[in-house]
Each structure stands twice: as structure tokens, then as C-alpha cells.
Amino acid sequence: MKEIILIKNGEIALKGLNRGNFESILIKNINKKIKNLGNFKISRSQSAIYIEPIDNNINIDIVLDKLKDVFGIATLCKTFVLEKDFEKIKEYAITKFDHIFKNISSFRVDAKRADKKFPMLSTEIESKIGEHVAQKYKNLSVSLKNPEVNLTIEIREKFAYIYCGKIEGAKGMPIGSSGNGMLMLSGGIDSPVSGYMMAKRGLQLSAIHFIAPPYTSDKAEEKVKELALKLSRYTNIISYYSINFTEIQLAIKKYCDENLFTIIMRRIMILISEKISVLNNIDCLITGESLAQVASQTLQSISCTNEISNIPIFRPLIGMDKLEIIDIAKRIDTFETSILPYEDCCTIFTPKHPKTKPDITSVKINESKFDFMPIIEKAILSVKLEIISNY
């Protein structure tokens, strides 16, 4: 008998004839995540992935902790693999989980018989194993609704698998299975959450951040890089693009109406982000906008920013309120970094009375007061790229 990790795919199991492609991407991502922890044999069968440690000194608990953040994994657990012999299964139900059964008061048995040739029905397995455990441990009672521990027995194609409890995975789709996205990453609460949510749908993230020295500090950019590092826990790596936006902001302030400053700034940021995305085979933009949260996120403002882009702009937070966004930020460990008091370039030169319902005609008239393209191209040529990784 050996101990391995059993992974359930979740949503991938619904992909029909394309399921194998998604599983291959997930296995590739799993390999990347645990490659520094030792040597493993990874296989797949019947909507499950099996990870068998090859090295003797591998700490499976550390492996589990790494894998729980991999998108595409619904659940995972340590499991014992043994022959499909009921007497041996009954014996190991006691032997391997004695330390658990001694310290709880209720349990249940779940049996799953994927191999229909196995001579016992699932209900029989549950009944007989449950009776065997209850006879051994007088402190235990069976609870079908709220047990402290679930003892699970799976009879699969080649072997039987027995385990107590399981860990919830990150769910979603494997990173890279839906293409590449460029996250417009500010130093605020919203954009990291937005990136996380799109990564969960299978997008490989890159990130772009606009700096405005001397109005923004090195500390402000360090904060944003820390947010990118926290996101890379879920995305493997992030290509981080840094753009000097000072000259463009000063030109907007000098030549355009003050109440349109924010919307024109957003449009130029979108334009630059799109150009860099196209150059790097990135398929879409991602922003942290939530409808009506601030002046630049009204329906009219969003329509104006959409107008300048030729690639899709995803806004996964669009219907969420701030408290919902904060809850996710805390769960993914970006909140405390996001609230550090360093200004990003979106908060400087903010007009006292920004236009909340801009129309595209007046916006374009303002943009035509100055030829922005030379300084936009200059900013793009000076872009700095850094690869940020959680490995």
C-alpha cells in the first residue's frame, strides 16, 4: 500500500471531448507548482489526477498546501492506494485512521464504486465499513448529515482508494486554457481581485502599471509589484510591464478641460495597454472597474473608454459592491498590501469636479487639442518588463 495525492477536476469533467486538453494543461500547471518539491509520477483516469511521490523524503502536506491554489482543482487529499479486496479495505479503515477515530465523536462512510464489476454495492460497503469502525471505537456515532469526519472509499478501475477528509481546491479553469489577459494593475483594492477572478477562468495574466515620477514614489511601485507577486501564487508567473506616464498626464492637464482629465487619462491608458498587449500576443484587457463606484466608472465613462479599444475589456467586478470586493481581497491576501498609503498615478491631478456623464464627442474634441501620439509612442518604447514569480 502507498500514499498518494488524489485530485478531482471539478468543472473540467464537463468539457466532453475537449476534456483531455484541459486536463493536460492542468497537469502541466501542477508540474510547475511542485517541481521544486521533489520527483513525482502524475497520471490521470476517470476525471481524477493521481500524484505519486517518487522520492522518499517528500512532505505530502507541503505539496497539498501548494496545490490548493492551482486553478482547475476542485478537491484534493492524501489517500492510501490498495488492492480491491474488501477485507484489506476494512482492515486499513482501522489501521490508517486510528489516530483520527480516537479523537472524534461522529463519522460517516462514503463509498463510490466506479468499477461496477466490484462484487459489493456502494451501500453495502458503507454499511459494513461503518459497522466495523463503530464496533472498534465505542466513542463514535454515525452522523449522515454533520459528521466530524468523512471516511471515503473509492473503488476505481485498478485500485481502491481510502481517505479521511479532503481539501477544497481553487476550482475554476486551468491557467492558460482561456488565453492571455493584460491586467491594468493599480495599487488599489479592486484590480488585484479582478485579475484573480479572470485567472480563475483560465486566463494567463500579465500586468501593466503606470508610474508618474516624481509624483509617485518608488514605494508605490514596490507595493504594486508585491500585489503582482501575491497574484502569481495563483498564476505561476506574471509578466509585469511598467510605463512612465508623467509626460502624458502633464499634457492632459495642460491642454484638456479639467473635468475630462480622468476619462481622457483612462482612454490613453487603455490605448497604451492595448498596443503593448497586441505586441505580446495578449488577447484582452482586464480592469477593476465596478459600475458607479467612482466618476470614471459610470455607464457613460465606461462607454467612452470602451470606444478606444479594439480588443475585449473584461470587468469581472462590474456588478459587485465594495464590501464584496474587500471580502475577496482579504481571502486572496491582497487587501493589506492594497491599503498601504502610497499614491498611484490615477490619484494625482484628480479634478475637483470630474465629468460623470461624458459624451464621446466632447472627449474627442478635447483630445484633438494636442497631438498625444508622439508621447504615447515614446512611453511605449520606454516600457520596462519584469517577470514576477511565486516559485
| 298 neighbors 292 (Cβ within 8 angstroms) | yes
Confidence band, pLDDT 50/70/90 cuts, at residue 195: very high
pLDDT tens-digit readout, 87-134: 999 998 888 899 999 999 999 999 999 899 999 999 999 999 999 999
Mean pLDDT across the stretch 360-386?
95
How would you classify residue 281: left for phi > 0, otherwise alpha for psi between -120 and 50, otherwise beta?
left
- Residue 242: the pLDDT is 97
Beta bridge partners of 45: 48
351 pLDDT exceeds 70?
Answer: yes
Mean pLDDT across the stretch 288-306?
86
Confidence band, pLDDT 50/70/90 cuts, at residue 355: confident
- Residue 6: the pLDDT is 95
Mean pLDDT across the stretch 40-60?
90
How far is C-alpha 265 from the chain's CA centre?
29
Confidence band, pLDDT 50/70/90 cuts, at residue 346: low
Beta bridge partners of 210: 243
- Residue 106: the pLDDT is 94
What's the pTM?
A: 0.90
pLDDT tens-digit readout, 126-161: 999 999 999 999 888 999 889 999 999 999 988 999
Mean pLDDT across the stretch 298-306?
90
φ/ψ of 23, rounded to 5, equals -65, -40
- Residue 187: the pLDDT is 87
361 pLDDT exceeds 90?
Answer: yes
Confidence band, pLDDT 50/70/90 cuts, at residue 12: confident
- Residue 253: the pLDDT is 93
| 31 neighbors 42 (Cβ within 8 angstroms) | yes
Alpha helices in the chain, H assignment, sequence order: 19-34, 60-67, 86-95, 98-101, 122-136, 190-199, 218-235, 246-255, 261-279, 299-307, 322-331, 335-338, 360-367, 373-381
239 pLDDT exceeds 80?
Answer: yes
Provide, rounded to the nearest whole percent, the portion of the chain with pLDDT above 70.
98
Task: Look at the alpha carbons of 29, 33, 36, 40 in this order and tell me if their dihedral is positive or negative.
Answer: negative
345 pLDDT exceeds 80?
Answer: no
Confidence band, pLDDT 50/70/90 cuts, at residue 341: confident
Interatomic CA distance for residues 22 and 260, integer angstroms: 45
Confidence band, pLDDT 50/70/90 cuts, at residue 51: very high
Average pLDDT, the chain: 92
Interatomic CA distance for residues 344 and 215, integer angstroms: 9
Mean pLDDT across the stretch 329-334?
96
